[in-house]
Structure 1
Amino acid sequence: MYNRRQSLKLLGALSGTIVAPAIAEEGQATDTQDSTGLDVNPHQSTWQQDLDRIWLGAKYWANPMENWAVVDGAAELVSAAGYRNVHLLTHQLTNPAGSFRMQAAVSEVQHGDVDSSVGFLIGVRSELNELKSNCFAANNGPRKTKSAGGAISSGPVVAGVRDGELFINESAVKFSGDVALGDVTIEVTGTPQGDNIELTLNAFDSQQDSVGSMTALVKPDVLLGNVAIGCNLFSNFRVRKGMSRYRIRQWNVSGDAFSVDPDAAWGPILWTMYSLSDSRSDEGFVLKLTALTPPLGEDDSDEVRLEVQRDGQWESIADAKLDHDAWTGTFRIANWDASTDVPFRVVYQQSYRDGEPSQHEWTGTIKANPTGRPLKFAGLTCQHDSGFPYAPVAENLMRLDPDLLYFSGDQLYEGNGGYSIIREPAEKAIVNYLRKFYMFGWAFGEPMRHSPTLCLPDDHDVFQGNIWGEGGEPMDMSDGKDQGASSKGGYREPVRMVNAVHRTCVAHHPEPFDPSPAEQGMSVYFGDMVYGDVSFAIVADRQFKSGPGHVDTGGGRADHVTERDFDTSILDKPGLELLGERQEAFLKHWADDWRGAKMKVLLSQTVFAGVATHHGSYNSFLLGDLDSGAWPQTARDRAIDLVRKSKALHISGDQHLTTLSQYGVREQRDSNWSFCTPAISAGYPRWWRPDEEGIPHENRPMHDLPNTGEFVDGFGNLVYIYAVGHPIPAKSKHRYERAHEKGSGFGYVLMDPETETFEIHSYRFLVDVTDGNPENEFPGWPVTLHADDNSGARRLFNGVNTEGWHGRPHFDPYKFDELSAEEQKAKIAQWNDEAEKHWSVENGELVNDGAGPYLTTNEEFENYELQLEYKTVPEADSGIYLKGTPQVQIWDSTQEAKFSIGANLGSGGLWNNSEGNPGKNPLVLADRPFGEWNKVRVVQVGARTSVWLNDQQVVDRAIMENYWRRDEPLRRRGPIQLQTHGGEIRWRNITLQPLDTEAANAFLAQDDDTGFKPLTDGKTLDGWIGAVDNYEVTPEGTIQCRPGHGGNLLTKDEYDDFVVRLYFRLPPRGNNGLAIRCPLDGDTAYVGMCELQVLDNEHPAYAKLDPRQYHGSAYGMAAAARGYLRPVGEWNYQEVRVEGSTIRVELNGNVILDTDLSKITDYASGRPHPGKDRKSGHFGFAGHNDPVEYRDVTIRRLK
């Protein structure tokens, strides 16, 4: 023990508040001092000069921030709780061979009878031992330390004082006398002692007299890391009862054991985020930039200034006031010169008690609008602090230097940074949120200072596990249960807190499309940004979403469907919302607004499909997660329908599972592609493992990766999965290795407005993206898509290779279907081997030498528009097989040797149609000379086929005959084949657009309607007789048989020969009929010429009918071909031609019945139908109690 007064030296000229004991003789340098006697690497706190505020200053990280404040010149713990601490950011213990000293003047302001400790934490470190992660390494509470060979061998080391004693870890020494903790100075020094470090702890009373001292040996590496000062160091962070509060008036640090980085100080400007957008108005490009500061005090300046550097000089261009909730200052600068990079800085004048402010700056670059080149886009999501500070991702962003950063949500999780969340009151909840949000800025502030940034809030950002925003409604808490992370609809947090979250994330975004507040006055942020010739739509896919309280998922969590056979269609109730009316109106407008843009991208929080089968744990199967954008299904489809015409790529996050998929609404792959980026740092894991679950798929991509292809998700939505990046079992304890194992990483897209392509990358976490290692990306990436792919159009040829195609010669598809799966696979392998000898890719063109198997799409198609270009040579002969059927003819129209078979008429005809039938010969000669590219467009719905050659129509809605089975309709689905024989042919720009039901019906309805008269007006049943009371006109203008009613609804007029066209829609198990030449009374199936059945063929109730009783059949007499009805609930288009004794029925473009009833001799009833020879009668509907609907019924007499 020694007398402090005899061994004190001043800590230096910076401050004399605390005096330090000198270990060396007066004037002799120590390892904590240089040769002049001044401290080495000194730090001295300046709280005495700081104004009152929550934030402790740029050199400190407070755990947690909301429990500390500068009060009357000291850092004060304002909330008594366990294991609270403050880290020093500028100093780290890195040199175990050096010495160090720390001193603190502390005052107890609230005594804790459970824990009254205050002292230093030394060697606080994560497994990374880097500054930022070290700040959170000890936040769970005290650890039991270990010793070896008489020295402490594990850390962190805690050293300080508590009621009546000094302590170093579990060891303690009593004070030399009765000393209150109201005003104490504690000091710890570390000096090398052989293979160890000797820690000496001293305590001094308010008179600077020593009240105790103790020493301990510590292994040198134990002390490496951060140093901190804290209170209640022997209590868990959750403990609040019996805790003490202290004021720390001064904290001084010195020694050559420290490394010092002045740039590690952070604040008062923490970071900035900005956007740059073409307003397409007289404001030109608009810059919006937000500066974020920590919570400041009432006497602090609340103004920030924006300056730009021009011609080497800094010029002030705007001032902004700080919002006192979000602590953001936002600048808006119209008519920004976006043609060049512009250095900027944000300036803040920090005030002090002595009245002399200091200037602080944050610098960055406003990038030039990236036009004339691909835009570099980085997509990021989900920052679980188990991977903080995410340095591999941040460093890769710096390497790539993106033009736009997109954080799609979950910039934090409730547990990030440790300690609890505060839900209310709003003021405290906001500060609690800000502390966690600041970790995001700390991790990614460097990339954001030089790149525009879009940042969406999501559920965890507002302290909810899920958000079902219900348009901003408050969550119903009347049951007393805290449902912040569950399946209740609405927002759990006060709207003031939610709005503060919105401001921190989106204040710098371009203005919303419709800024009117949502419920409770909640702010909105949906709108667009036009930048780099790309238009980005920003939507909130949770803020307006309906909650699962509207439906019943069968037990357990209301938002999880766990039963494998649960019918999720019942969850799709009318009126449920995904995006809500306001955002749908925005998307409708945005899809049509191409001002300033050549490409489009949709940005939201999550993917619009259920692309995870297992959640949380490896074997935890989930049929459906209502939190995904897959539900509600109708609202999901409506959103996709609105976006489809924009040809936008949808980029989202949230799922912790990276996927590349394509949406289907009415058909597989008829809509936009979706890229769900990996989590920056995944917490809750998910998997997509349908193969293990036996979930069927079709059309697996050429890469043949498992769990890919066309699927129906758990909600019945169509989705094509091209690639998925799964986690692997996480075994490493190293945070970065573990994040890598858990499937973390980020997305990167090169958007090229000139070629209209998206080059999509999904990078793993722990990689260097510049080293060229193909393992840097998840399996299946990178992928290049064309904007047209996002309209549902297929680029059947990618310009690079034959992915999506296989070899197949002129081979009967019916015989192919009869082969086993193994036999089919062997056949295709054989054909592929042969095709490789004759097909190649040159300069983005498919080239065939005139021989070998035909190139055939792996995928089959039903209704579509096909476009391609071909170029051939003299005497070549080729063609395009449609649905695996020959063929749209391509040949040499100048080859005289083939004039006798029609070559002189040109290409484009349906060569294999019967002689004299429509389509056989082209309507015009439209071939271009050899050496020029010919452009072909084909529209095929059912068998109805139109062909254009070089923009001239050569086939007009002709029925393509079934070459393989002449007495049957064309196959419903089939591949496209590029025929080869007779000379080189080249193909390029091969795209196919599937047609949905509406488009298909519109094509079929283009027939000449001359002479047709409407039988329905959409309002009344005028002109109809019979069981009129059993039918109704619906609000949609359709005629419907009333449920539970039947009877015949007949036209007043009678018809002999006629053609009738109509649309009909079947409900499940629906049964009705078309009455043909029917009298007023009797069973239309027998007393009329016939009843043409209208029936849901696929319903199990009808599995064993006579073939002559299915849809389109002349009931009981002539069977129609089956398999051409559209799915239940969709509109079918049908034409019936009655002429003499013949009846021809065309359903959805396919002739399913063509018969002469006069030749019928075999009847299902066993006896002739008495009315089949009728020459005239009424037309109408034969009801059988089911609500079958009809619309747009027209009729034309043939005589």
Structure 2
Amino acid sequence: MSRYSRRDSIKLLGVLPAASVAGSTVNGFAAENETAENAVSQSGVPANHHQSSWDNDHDRIWLGKEYWANPMEDWKVIDGAAECVTPGGRRNVHLITHQLTDAQKPFAMSVSVSRVQEGKQDDSVGFLIGVHSELNETKSNAFAGNGVPVGISDGKLTIGAKTKAPDREIDPTDVKIAVTGKPSGNNVELTLTVSDSKGESLGSFTHEVAADAVLGNVAIVNNFQMKPLPRFGGARYRFADWNVSGEAFTVDPDAVFGPILWTMYSLSDSRSDEGFVLKLSALTPPMGNDDNDEIQLQVRRGEVWQSLGKAKLDHDAWTATFRIPNWDASEDVSFQVVYGQRHKDGNETFHDWTGTIKANPEGRPVKFAPLTCQNDYGFPYAPVAENLLRLDPDLLYFSGDQIYEGHGGFGIIREPAEDAIVNYLRKYYQFGWAFREPMRHSPTLCIPDDHDVFQGNIWGEGGAAMDQGDPGASSKGGYREPVRMVNAVHKTCAGHHPDPFDPTPAKQGMSVYYGDMVYGGVSFAILGDRQWKSGPERVETGSGRADHVLDRNFDTSALDKPGLELLGERQETFLKAWADDWRNASIKVLLSQTVFAGVATHHGGYDGYLKADLDSGGWPQTARNRAIDIIRKSKALHVNGDQHLTSLCQYGVERQRDSNWSFCVPAISAGYPRWWRPDEVGMPHANRPHHGLPQTGEYLDGLGNHVYVYAVGNPLVGKANNRYVKAHEKGSGFGWILIDPKTQTYECHSFRFLIDATDGNPENEFPGWPVTLHADDNTGNVRLFNGVNLDGWHGRTHFDPAKLDAMSTEERAKQLSQWDEEARKHWSVENGELVNDGQGPYLTTNDEYEDYELNLQYKTIAGADSGVYLKGSPQVQIWDSTDEAKFKLGANLGSGGLWNNPAGAPGKDPLVLADRPFGQWNDLRVVQVGSRTSVWLNDQMVVDRAIMDNFWDRGKPLRRRGPIQLQTHGGEIRWRDVWLKPLGADAANAYLSDGQDGDFQPLTDGKTLDGWVGAVDDYEVTPEGTIRCKPGRGGNLLTAEEYGDFVVRLFIKLPPKGNNGLAIRAPIEGNPAYVAMTELQVLDHDHPAYKNIDPRQAHGSAYGMVAATRGYLRPAGQWNFQQVRVVGSTIEVELNGNVILNADLSNVTETMGDQPHPGKDRKTGHFGFAGHGDGVEFKDVMIRRL
């Protein structure tokens, strides 16, 4: 194991920009020099000696456990030597057990080389000394492009940039190269000696280099220079008998990598007679035909290792997978996998890899670590790997991009399949090298994504082959690589997963891995969310690139073509079954590659704006919505990655926030950067969360999908030279979720990269985290109280929300902080209950709500007096209905009334006494749309669609949105099961219109304009049965009958900028705005074209005479419910449950522009529509005479 010092970690943290780093430290990310052993042991063996043994190894690609070959596919053991099989530049092999750490001590190396192919240009061979990254630790050093070259170059002796002619001509077909190093003041004296096959010297050369130049890894190298292969044909050499020794080296015998590289396992409750099923894969490097082909799995039973059998190695993936049914998951079990490495001399060396099969985590939260995206500039990602070891997760999840095409350098090989696989494996092994320690003790799920199969994006088309006309493999449907290579990727990543739901291969015989895992009482669904996704060439983005939309004005709804797929029919069938399957699980998590929304506005560069990226899970829109509709029933949290931009958001389909939450975790090491900066590009938002962070709230993403972004971790522009600081700047890190089946909660953390996740520093996490969600939140309902803590609440006294709005940001924050501090002295959580001692500020939701159904339970004691504030206004009354002292106030009538309504007004007093005795829980249900409010107490209706007065401003409706507040004073009160179901426009309209038809008569039949007169040619009945003014036409469409006093109710839908009117008591001829009693304005007054209108022109106003209250009209394109009551000279307009106009027109003395309104005193007339050339629609028009 590499060792790090706390001193060096503090140095590293110290160079971070102040805005990008937490104040904590982590145990070291720079190598600590260690003292070497004594120079020579008593046996006379040189200190720290290593000697290669390729002469006793069978032919194969893998060179041995002590080595890292760059690149692996360019090296082989052939006939007892390590041979470079490619004439490329700087092909090298690192000795990973030895590191030069002390330049004040001597060292020596030698190797026998023979040239097997002459080079055209650089013909060099020898050693690299002091190869080091800025971290100077073994793993990252293996990919550094520096080091002092020592050896032969074009027939000359070479040390660094210095050369010397040999004493005799060098025959490179069989020579020995040796180098020694010894301290020389502040330098190291290197002596190079080259000798022939007889051991006679061909020349020697001594040169001093700076002491720090030799610190780092040592390697043998074939061709010193790195040049592009097509333009360079170097020599090829064989290497044998590599000897390394000296006190200058620090040796770590545990740093070997292989022949068992690492293991991954899963443990799942099969819910069948197989009980828990353990599946474990052991990975080896590519072995040879004469090497052992089996791995044995053993478990420790007491003091004895018991064999569970052997498994064959797959010769593409080089994995051996075990499947053990009826596993005893009640306790931790130590395991080891054993491989017998055969040698040419007939001997066999046994190697083992040990770990722990963890017990099924029952009766406690499951510790879940989701991770994604490993760009290897941050390799070996030690801060993340070490945090995982500290946190000890119950389950690890890698969501894809375990590799990128550039991993380890040296390019990619696309075909043939056999070569592409080895090229992939070499890159994939970096993933295991970095994270094998956490994986050896925790179950691991690992799914591949696009870069894992050498594609910029995957549009899998069900496993189809790609048209190879796309060089970047980014913008066309299908798979670029041979299916054999893709299947090897699937097997290395997911071969140890629980059995797939339906293992039938996809197109080309491509394997599938979607299915579920039940572990710790949690059901996990595992998807390949791009394997069936449609290709972008099926649509036209107008950008020149099939998957990117650049034009802000482009209508992305045009990209939602019929028949396009996201998950595909097979995975949708699985999800439907999974959503209904609650066997042995009480909470669920959906795992896939990416987020089902376009939560990124800028890509690649800080100013790289894209309106939409079709690679996101937000496209195709219909398929995306269908998938979310399926998973909503599961109540699952969607955990994903891919975006290199952590976010916590909630999906919407029909409306905002009607579906599951998504946690997109930060990249382990973010490469291609993305930002979510909608506010900067003018994307409108609503309902910013209580924390007030920018770029949060309810948005329509660039594809038109509803998405509520609660938190986002936008990166800085990464500029640091240190890889870990740069990764931190670029928004890297990892996720952490505590999943509690008992409380039905997910405690979500999004940790930054360069931190210690265990030290409690709040700056360790991205802004907005941690967040605790309840499973019910994933249904579109909102679990206001999660049962475990006060997340989502703050303290607030009886205070006018308008005054709070009028404060400066600083004043408001200070006031809220004071209230919250005081509230937490009086509010607590006990056994899933909210408890208040009868004192202190009211507990107030952070979020505000518009139209909703609120449900809760409460329990009081004698004398208690409490209530529920709705939209920040008091209150649904809760009190002691037996307290005779309050009978004069109405306590004897019971709880549930709208206490602050005027005496005698509807809703003031409850319709029935429904309170339960003290000590029993009361069920309270409230439906509120606008100001219209219904209350049920213990399943009895106590308030029936009453208008709730605005306590703070009696002349106006309730605020459109506001918080829920739990009021308390006068005794202990307990609350539980506090949840809210937001109501979209359709549900709200249904509430407002349901069950109140009474004596109303329909004015429309949905088919004709029978019963209407006037401009009948300027209106039409649509196929949906609505009446629409024909665009570009106008005039008055009036009822054939006349009305005096009446109530009319109808639905109105405005197009953007739409304008029309409701004619009240109008004559047949003339402009109803003046000759009728009034024209009630119908107008999209929020459109920018109307920003300067007179208030008396706003929607619902008595045109030109009396202004309606604004702020309650729904967005263009949505249906509004409107009711108009006309009695004598008075007129009342209710819009979406809010009385926005209540005026006596006989009192009007001033009009807009002093325009006379001679019709305002009319006693009777026609009702109708006053068109102004816009396609305004009306439906379900009903009238009742009074």
State the TM bucket, normalised to the shorter chain.
Answer: 0.7 to 0.9
1: CA distance, partners of 2:186 / 2:866: 86
Q: Is 1:573 paired with 2:560?
A: yes
Relative distance call for 1:527 and 1:959 in structure 2 (3 A) is: farther
Aligned runs of 1:773-852 on 2, under 5 Å? 773-794=761-782, 796=784, 804-805=793-794, 807-809=796-798, 811=800, 816=803, 820-822=806-808, 826=811, 840-844=825-829
Which residue of 1 is the match for residue 641 of structure 2? Answer: 653
Unaligned runs of 5+ in 1: 1-29, 144-155
Which residue of 2 is the match for residue 893 of structure 1? Answer: 881
Q: Which letter does structure 2 place at the counterpart of 1:573?
A: D
Q: Is 1:427 paired with 2:450?
A: no
2: CA distance, partners of 1:808 / 1:32: 76
2: CA distance, partners of 1:1052 / 1:285: 75
Relative distance call for 1:730 and 1:699 in structure 2 (3 A) is: same
Conserved 8 A contact 2:98-2:251: yes
Query: Which SS does the other structure have where 2:56 is aligned?
Result: coil
2: CA distance, partners of 1:528 / 1:1046: 59
Which residue of 2 is the match for residue 75 of structure 1? Answer: 82
Cα shift at 1:299: 3.9
Counterpart of 1:365 (choices 356, 359, 368) is 356
Conserved 8 A contact 2:1051-2:1122: yes
Aligned runs of 1:284-683 on 2, under 5 Å? 284-478=275-469, 482-484=471-473, 486-488=474-476, 490-545=478-533, 555=543, 566=553, 573-575=560-562, 578-612=566-600, 615-617=603-605, 625-630=613-618, 636-663=624-651, 669-683=657-671
Query: Which SS does the other structure have where 1:304 is aligned?
Result: strand
Cα shift at 1:1006: 4.3
2: CA distance, partners of 1:233 / 1:837: 70
2: CA distance, partners of 1:181 / 1:502: 44
Which residue of 2 is the match for residue 88 of structure 1? Answer: 95
Conserved 8 A contact 2:1098-2:1108: yes
Conserved 8 A contact 1:874-1:930: yes
Which residue of 2 is the match for residue 1129 of structure 1? Answer: 1117
After superposing the two structures, state which structure 1 stretch, 1161-1170 or 118-127, moved more. 1161-1170
Conserved 8 A contact 2:823-2:843: no
Query: Which SS does the other structure have where 1:188 is aligned?
Result: strand
TM-score by length of structure 2 reads 0.84
Which residue of 1 is the match for residue 225 of structure 2? Answer: 234
Relative distance call for 1:73 and 1:1001 in structure 2 (3 A) is: farther
Which residue of 1 is the match for residue 120 of structure 2? Answer: 113
Unaligned runs of 5+ in 2: 1-36
Which residue of 2 is the match for residue 5 of structure 1? Answer: none
2: CA distance, partners of 1:1033 / 1:87: 76
Which residue of 2 is the match for residue 268 of structure 1? Answer: 259
Q: Which letter does structure 2 place at the counterpart of 1:203?
A: V
Kindly provide the CA deviation profile for residues 142-179 of structure 1, in whole angstroms up to 9, marking residues without a partner as x.
Answer: x5xxxxxxxxxxxx232222443332233334344444
Conserved 8 A contact 1:866-1:938: yes
Which residue of 1 is the match for residue 176 of structure 2? Answer: 185
Relative distance call for 1:573 and 1:1105 in structure 2 (3 A) is: farther
Which residue of 2 is the match for residue 768 of structure 1? Answer: 756
1: CA distance, partners of 2:511 / 2:986: 38
Conserved 8 A contact 1:672-1:792: yes
2: CA distance, partners of 1:964 / 1:305: 75
1: CA distance, partners of 2:230 / 2:1096: 79
2: CA distance, partners of 1:168 / 1:685: 41
1: CA distance, partners of 2:258 / 2:389: 21
Kindly provide the CA deviation profile for residues 101-123 of structure 1, in whole angstroms up to 9, marking residues without a partner as x.
Answer: 43322221210021111112222
Relative distance call for 1:974 and 1:160 in structure 2 (3 A) is: closer
Conserved 8 A contact 2:1018-2:1034: no
Relative distance call for 1:801 and 1:647 in structure 2 (3 A) is: same
Relative distance call for 1:187 and 1:980 in structure 2 (3 A) is: closer
Conserved 8 A contact 2:636-2:778: yes
Kindly provide the CA deviation profile for residues 294-323 of structure 1, in whole angstroms up to 9, marking residues without a partner as x.
Answer: 222344444433333334443443443333
Cα shift at 1:181: 1.9
Relative distance call for 1:280 and 1:1041 in structure 2 (3 A) is: farther
Share of identical aligned residues, percent?
65
Query: Which SS does the other structure have where 1:501 is aligned?
Result: helix
Relative distance call for 1:981 and 1:255 in structure 2 (3 A) is: closer
Cα shift at 1:468: 4.3
Q: Which letter does structure 2 place at the counterpart of 1:807?
A: R
Q: Which letter does structure 2 place at the counterpart of 1:283?
A: E
Kindly provide the CA deviation profile for residues 1000-1049 of structure 1, in whole angstroms up to 9, marking residues without a partner as x.
Answer: 3444454267889999999x779999979975664x78787777788999
Relative distance call for 1:855 and 1:832 in structure 2 (3 A) is: farther
Query: Which SS does the other structure have where 2:87 is aligned?
Result: coil
Relative distance call for 1:1053 and 1:287 in structure 2 (3 A) is: farther
Q: Is 1:102 paired with 2:109?
A: yes
Kindly provide the CA deviation profile for residues 736-774 of structure 1, in whole angstroms up to 9, marking residues without a partner as x.
Answer: 344344443322222221122222333333333334444
2: CA distance, partners of 1:40 / 1:853: 73
Conserved 8 A contact 1:679-1:746: yes
Q: Is 1:948 paired with 2:933?
A: no
Query: Which SS does the other structure have where 1:323 is aligned?
Result: coil
2: CA distance, partners of 1:119 / 1:1143: 97
1: CA distance, partners of 2:339 / 2:279: 18
1: CA distance, partners of 2:1017 / 2:569: 38
Q: Which letter does structure 2 place at the counterpart of 1:59?
A: E
Conserved 8 A contact 2:648-2:663: yes
2: CA distance, partners of 1:857 / 1:440: 43
Conserved 8 A contact 1:1088-1:1172: no
Conserved 8 A contact 2:1077-2:1159: no
Q: Which letter does structure 2 place at the counterpart of 1:270?
A: L
Cα shift at 1:832: 7.1
Conserved 8 A contact 2:771-2:791: no
* Alignment length (residue pairs): 1140
Conserved 8 A contact 1:88-1:227: yes
Which residue of 2 is the match for residue 736 of structure 1? Answer: 724
Q: Which letter does structure 1 place at the counterpart of 2:70?
A: N
Cα shift at 1:230: 1.4
Cα shift at 1:980: 5.5
Q: Which letter does structure 1 place at the counterpart of 2:317?
A: A
Aligned runs of 1:1176-1195 on 2, under 5 Å? 1193=1180
Kindly provide the CA deviation profile for residues 1058-1083 of structure 1, in whole angstroms up to 9, marking residues without a partner as x.
Answer: 98876665443456788999999999
Cα shift at 1:246: 1.5
Relative distance call for 1:316 and 1:237 in structure 2 (3 A) is: farther
Aligned runs of 1:1063-1074 on 2, under 5 Å? 1065-1070=1053-1058
Conserved 8 A contact 2:541-2:547: yes
Q: Is 1:862 paired with 2:845?
A: no
1: CA distance, partners of 2:321 / 2:1047: 68
2: CA distance, partners of 1:541 / 1:764: 26
Q: CA RMSD in A?
A: 4.7
Cα shift at 1:871: 4.6
Query: Which SS does the other structure have where 1:229 is aligned?
Result: strand
